[in-house]
């Protein structure tokens, strides 16, 4: 696999749009984002559901789990189809009435008795609910950075950054609503997660200079990477609604796609660093590297590593996650400093 210089025709076409056209496009994107943000906050105001489907077992006279939603609090817990529900908010369900089953499926806290006969446990979705305000702030900040890059940037790189910011912002906020089992959020998650990851790879091929992937005799244009997310998005969305088994079987493929995109991005940036000839390119890459390190260090050092070593956070992820906005911000500064601020 090689990287060869290229010129992105799609980016060049959009670059030729004047400010008026860009304002119309930006206005449409911002309006769509604000609608999604409002609907997410509205539909996540109540406590989240666990994400269980149950049925009454007439033989044993108890409610049994029949399905665990693939993107839900229950999917993160050791709950399996066949397990029994022995309590809902401290009350044991015994009647078998449909209303009782509906109450279990809509509950955020139930007591589960595993079919394997091990000790029962309480599954509480509320203790795992993400902080909506934190994710909304990060998401809105990403949209703002993307808007600045789209309106004032010149060339393909600002457009690629705008795509990363917008797709990432939508994915960040709908991932919260997906935890609440809001169906439209699961559809948007299936669309924007692959698009966000592939857009990072796209950005790596157009910044600091435009390149193409060369696979043997085949040259792959950079724009093909975000386009490749379409079939992945379709499979992810469909499998989410079919069953957790279908989602689990396809999950390795989704991980492989993510790894391939992120691996392409890492390789392209390293190659650009190695091949960079001008001082401008080296300065841009240095800014991006420094910003990326500063962005991920708080989350890794004070949240992820302490959880693995100590079993608890030193600093809550609701705090450390805010630093991640420095990641797209470093790209925006590296790209736009020569275009808007005319820094040398």
pLDDT digits (tens, 9 = 90+) for 184-243: 887 888 889 899 889 988 988 888 777 777 666 777 788 888 999 999 888 888 877 766
Which tokens is 280 given?
């401008």
What end-to-end distance do the CA atoms of the chain give, in Å? 34
* Confidence (pLDDT) at 283: 82
**pLDDT level of residue 16 (50, 70, 90 thresholds):** low
Separation between Cα atoms, residue 301 and residue 171, nearest integer Å: 24
Report the 10 Å Cβ neighbour count for 183.
12
* Confidence (pLDDT) at 244: 58
User: Do 169 and 143 touch, CB atoms closer than 8 A?
Assistant: yes
What DSSP string runs through 288-310?
HHHHHHHHHHHHIIIIIHHHHHT
| Tens of pLDDT, residues 37-67 | 999 999 988 888 888 888 888 888 888 998 8
**pLDDT level of residue 343 (50, 70, 90 thresholds):** very low
Alpha-helical runs (H) found in 207-242: 224-227, 229-242
Average pLDDT over every residue of 238-267: 77
Q: What are phi and psi of 91, to 5 degrees?
A: -115, 130
Separation between Cα atoms, residue 243 and residue 234, nearest integer Å: 15
Which residues touch 107 (CB under 8 Å, ≥6 apart)?
49, 50, 88, 89
The radius of gyration computed from the CA coordinates of the chain, to the nearest angstrom, equals 23
Window from 37-51, 84-98, 162-176, 291-305 with minimum mean pLDDT: 84-98
The yes-or-no verdict on residue 11 having pLDDT over 80 is: no
Average pLDDT over every residue of 117-143: 84
- Residue 175's nearest CA partner among 28, 27, 73 is 73
CA of 34: how far to CAs of 171, 174, 312, in Å?
A: 14, 12, 35
């Amino acid at each position: 696999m090689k990287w060869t210089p290229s010129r992105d025709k799609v980016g060049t076409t959009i670059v030729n749009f004047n400010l008026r056209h860009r304002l119309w496009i930006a206005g449409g994107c911002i309006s769509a984002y604000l609608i999604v943000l409002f609907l997410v906050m509205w539909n996540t105001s109540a406590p989240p559901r666990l994400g269980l489907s149950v049925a009454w077992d007439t033989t044993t006279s108890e409610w049994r789990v029949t399905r665990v939603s693939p993107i839900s609090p229950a999917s993160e817990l050791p709950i399996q189809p066949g397990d029994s529900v022995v309590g809902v908010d401290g009350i044991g369900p015994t009647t078998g009435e449909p209303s009782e089953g509906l109450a279990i499926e809509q509950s955020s806290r139930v007591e589960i008795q595993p079919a394997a006969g091990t000790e029962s446990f309480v599954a509480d979705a509320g203790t795992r609910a993400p902080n909506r305000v934190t994710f909304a702030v990060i998401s809105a900040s990403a949209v703002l950075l993307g808007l600045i890059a789209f309106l004032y940037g010149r060339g393909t790189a600002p457009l690629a950054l705008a795509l990363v910011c917008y797709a990432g912002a939508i994915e960040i906020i709908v991932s919260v609503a997906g935890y609440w089992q809001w169906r439209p959020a699961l559809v948007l998650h299936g669309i924007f997660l692959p698009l966000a990851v592939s857009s990072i790879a796209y950005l790596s091929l157009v910044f600091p200079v435009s390149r193409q992937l060369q696979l043997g005799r085949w040259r792959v244009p950079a724009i093909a990477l975000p386009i490749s997310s379409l079939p992945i998005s379709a499979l992810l969305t469909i499998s989410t609604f079919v069953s957790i088994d279908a989602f689990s079987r396809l999950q390795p493929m989704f991980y492989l796609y993510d790894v391939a995109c992120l691996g392409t991005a890492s390789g392209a940036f390293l190659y650009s660093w190695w091949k960079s000839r001008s001082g401008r390119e080296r300065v841009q890459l240095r800014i991006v590297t420094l910003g990326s390190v500063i962005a991920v260090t708080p989350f890794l050092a004070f949240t992820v590593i302490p959880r693995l070593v100590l079993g608890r956070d030193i600093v809550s992820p609701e705090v450390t996650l805010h630093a991640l906005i420095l990641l797209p911000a470093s790209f925006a500064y590296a790209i736009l400093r020569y275009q808007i601020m005319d820094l040398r």
